[in-house]
Chains A and B, each alone.
Chain A
Amino acid sequence: MKPTVDRFWKTVSWLSGLIVSASVSFLIGFLLWKGVHAVSPRLFFGDTAWQDALFGRRPVFDGIWPAVVGTLSLVVFASLIAVPIGVAAGIYLSEYATARQRRWIGSLVDLLSATPSIVMGLFGFTLILFLRKTIFPNAQTGLMLAAGCIALIVLPYLIATTQAALQGIPEESRLLGASLGLTKWQHIRHTLIPLSAKGILGGVVLAIGRAAEDTAVILLTGVMARAGMPRNLWDKFEALPFHVYYLAAEHRDAAELAQGFGTALVLLMVTTFLFGFSYWIEKQAARRWNSA
């Protein structure tokens, strides 16, 4: 009885492992096979010379460089908004908050993390409608709105990782501050933050990765299939994940389909690099505490 159950269990586990490994390997392999020959300067810049395209002197048609710039801009601005607020909130929840505050604010932040990204996009879209009817009749969806909504999506990650990094500091290091006569903020700034910096950085990189791959939010807050380089913070923009989605639905010919595969490959490489970097940082931080 037992050996058969064991064997059955073993078979099922091996099968699961094989199914999942096969699916993922197939996915990567398929993308590589179809997309690798599309990755070239032509993919990025189309017919425009790369010097002109890079500095925005001439517009790029049929190239994904505007999408790369768009995604980069989104990520940079979303981080600029989310990182200060998220890290500050994490510090507060970890060091200053009373139990009651921690419970309430913690629940609400949890709720924020559970909000579907399309609902966040809906929120951004209606915010613009609301602004148009009241104080800013010329408000438009654009880069800043999308970056703001993405910042809201990644905020919970930052708060959670900051909290976890700070809580992970052992008691001996915490006693340092009190023993040196530091004020609370001096203790946080000069002792706790340097010790938890790696963990916080890991959270920041994770947030960046999440910002780069989001599609549902930007769908409703200003992304376009063909918008060129964004000229200012309030402009429409292109983005890599939206470009992939658009080409999947509406490629006009085989060349555009190949471009789609190339774009998918570029996006995959960017997010893989970011998540890998974040994972490595977290491993470093964990190793530091485990060996201490």
Chain B
Amino acid sequence: MTDHRFSAEAQALRRTARRELWIERILLAAAGLSAAVVVAIFSMLVWFCLPLFTEHRLGAVLAWRWDPIHQHFGILPMLITSCMLTILALCIAFPLTIGICSLLHGTIRNGVLRRMLLFLVHFMTGIPTVIYGFVSVFVLVPLLRWVFETGTGFSLMAACLTLSVLILPTMVLVLHAELDQAEARYRLTAEALGFSAEQTMRSVLLPACRRALIVTVLLGMGRAVGDTLVSLMVAGNAAQVPHSLFDSVRTLTAHIALVLATDSHSMAYQSVFAAGLFLFLLMSCFQAVLRFWAKSGASFR
């Protein structure tokens, strides 16, 4: 009699243990799948760029002219544009971010204005990219055309203004979270020393968040480089190296969207994959640096 009960319990225990193992395996499969996808994307990009390396046509793609009719397939103009656009958008967005965070943690530290501003920033994160582009096409582009009287309005300037407004809320929220933590640590000390709100902000809080500032910049850069719709709608899409802020330009992302229609065996098609690979590598670098900075600092992911 004792044998039966013992074996029934043992069976139940074995079943549970087996189920636990299977559940862990399924969960591992899910995690592994998520990780494997990125490897698949990278492999696909490399695979399609391989002919460029094996047939030594890399030089054709790393050239300065894009003119498929005359057999020029250089994507360097688009690359330069992506970099310039990102840097310019950051030059506008970063000071604005610091300014807004100074407001939130300094001047209007208490009160209803702070809540309203925070609500506005959170609301901005919910606005789709295509809406920013849409309003820019009908408001910003004619405005630029009228005010500056150079160019069609579809220009580097229009794209960078729109892009800076797009990346601003993410940057503000990240910096704001860090400043909240720093404030909890340093605010009483600073007030006891007689610092004004603004002084606390610029002398105590911002230096304490130096690492977070780098993270903010990197996040903004990542978002700006990877954006397609804004530059597709307002940058003009001419495949040239920008010589002035009012030139019509094309970014790597817009280039992929525009050119994917051509013959799948031609060089133009391969240039698209080169552009995609470059974008992927660029974003990976940002991500690696971000991880490095975030890990070595106090902030957590």
Q: Which residues of A contact B (CB under 8 A)?
A: 2, 5-6, 9-10, 12-17, 19-21, 23-24, 26-27, 30-31, 84-86, 88-89, 91-93, 96-97, 101, 104-105, 107-120, 122-123, 125-127, 129, 152, 155-156, 159-160, 183-185, 209, 212-213, 215-216, 219-220, 241, 244-245, 248-249, 260, 264, 267-268, 271-272, 274-276, 279
A118–B256 CB distance below 8 A: yes
> How many interface residues does B have (CB within 8 Å)?
84
Query: Once bound together, how far apart are the Cα atoms of A215 and B98, in whole Å?
Result: 30
Query: Once bound together, how far apart are the Cα atoms of A127 and B33, in whole Å?
Result: 17
B38 interface residue (CB < 8 Å to A): yes
B77 interface residue (CB < 8 Å to A): no
**Provided the pairs A91-B27, A112-B37, A118-B228 are in contact, do residues A126 and B44 lie with their beta carbons within 8 angstroms?**
yes
Residue of A nearest to B222 (CB): A114
B residues within 8 A CB of A209? 126
B64 interface residue (CB < 8 Å to A): no
**Provided the pairs A13-B100, A20-B96, A30-B139 are in contact, do residues A114 and B283 lie with their beta carbons within 8 angstroms?**
yes
B residues within 8 A CB of A20? 96, 100, 120-121, 124, 165, 168
A277 to chain B: closest CB distance in Å? Answer: 10
Residue of A nearest to B40 (CB): A123
Query: Once bound together, how far apart are the Cα atoms of A30 and B287, in whole Å?
Result: 36
Query: Once bound together, how far apart are the Cα atoms of A187 and B291, in whole Å?
Result: 31
A248–B201 CB distance below 8 A: no
A residues within 8 A CB of B91? none
Mask: chain B, 263-281; 1 = CB below 8 Å from A; 0 = not: 0100000001100100110
A271–B30 CB distance below 8 A: no
**Provided the pairs A96-B28, A245-B133 are in contact, do residues A275 and B257 lie with their beta carbons within 8 angstroms?**
no
Question: Could you list some 20 contacts between A and B, CB below 8 A?
Answer: A2-B199, A20-B168, A24-B165, A30-B135, A84-B30, A86-B34, A89-B34, A92-B27, A105-B34, A108-B38, A112-B41, A114-B283, A114-B286, A116-B279, A155-B37, A215-B228, A216-B229, A244-B131, A245-B232, A268-B128
B189 interface residue (CB < 8 Å to A): no
B126–A105 CB distance below 8 A: no
A residues within 8 A CB of B301? 160
B130–A213 CB distance below 8 A: yes
Q: Which residues of B contact A (CB under 8 A)?
A: 16, 19-20, 23-24, 26-28, 30-41, 44-45, 48, 95-100, 102-103, 106-107, 117, 120-135, 137-139, 165, 168, 196, 198-199, 201-202, 222, 225-229, 232-233, 253, 256-257, 260, 264, 272-273, 276, 279-280, 283-284, 286-287, 291, 301
B96–A16 CB distance below 8 A: yes
Given A122-B273, A271-B127, A272-B123, 8 more pairs with CB closer than 8 A: A10-B107, A12-B95, A16-B100, A17-B100, A108-B36, A114-B222, A185-B23, A249-B233
**Provided the pairs A104-B35, A109-B35, A248-B134 are in contact, do residues A13 and B99 lie with their beta carbons within 8 angstroms?**
yes
Contact among B20, B225, B256 for A183, CB-based, below 8 A: B20
B residues within 8 A CB of A183? 16, 20
B49 to chain A: closest CB distance in Å? Answer: 12
A residues within 8 A CB of B38? 108-109, 111-112, 115
A220–B30 CB distance below 8 A: no
B34–A268 CB distance below 8 A: no
The 5 closest A-B pairs by CB, nearest first: A16-B99, A275-B126, A116-B226, A213-B128, A88-B30
